[in-house]
């Protein structure tokens, strides 16, 4: 049974420049920094921008697969590519204005093709990350048989 509230904690330690190390309980450490698009960005290092986009993408996948499993959909594959568009606003602040998720879903049974699409859009509506942000989230699925 799910509870009414949950708490998630992280710890961040600065190393140098814009580089830091993100931790949480028994999770692997993750180096984070500014993106190379900005001053002092660090190449090949996870950025808040990448993690923001990834959190929306991951939430859609986990919500979709949970609903599909509970609905007994014959899911055999899920992958996605996601793009987040960040723009400078009139007040000179940056903001993610749009995130487009392109999931590729494969099912084993033809009867599950339409169900998988319905469940995918239900998952988009139920995704707690998407529901917690102002950014427009668009899903452009490709659903087929295995």
DSSP character at residue 29? P
Work out the mean pLDDT of the chain and round it to a whole number: 97
What is the C-alpha to C-alpha distance for residues 61 and 83, in angstroms, rounded to an integer? 15
* pLDDT tens digit sequence for 86-135: 999 999 999 999 999 999 999 999 999 999 999 999 999 999 999 999 99
Own/partner contacts of 47-52, CB < 8 Å, gap of 24 or more, are: 49/84, 49/86, 49/96, 52/84, 52/96
pLDDT of residue 1: 87
Domains located in the chain, CATH noted: 8-46 (no CATH), 48-145 (3.30.300.20)
* pLDDT tens digit sequence for 17-55: 999 999 999 999 999 999 999 999 999 999 999 999 999
What is the C-alpha to C-alpha distance for residues 23 and 3, in angstroms, rounded to an integer? 25
């Amino acid at each position: 049974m799910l509870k009414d509230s949950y708490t998630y904690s992280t710890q961040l330690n600065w190393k140098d420049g814009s580089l830091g190390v993100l931790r949480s309980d028994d999770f692997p450490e993750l180096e984070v920094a500014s993106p190379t698009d900005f001053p002092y960005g660090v190449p090949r290092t996870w950025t808040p921008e990448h993690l923001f986009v990834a959190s929306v993408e991951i939430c859609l996948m986990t919500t979709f697969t949970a609903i599909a499993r509970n609905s007994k959909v014959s899911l055999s594959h899920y992958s996605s590519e996601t793009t987040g568009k960040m723009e400078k606003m009139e007040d000179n602040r940056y903001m993610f204005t749009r995130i487009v998720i392109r999931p590729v879903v494969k099912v084993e049974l033809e009867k599950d093709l339409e169900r998988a699409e319905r469940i995918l859009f239900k998952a988009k509506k139920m995704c707690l990350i998407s529901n917690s942000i102002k950014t427009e989230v668009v899903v452009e699925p490709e659903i087929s048989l295995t």
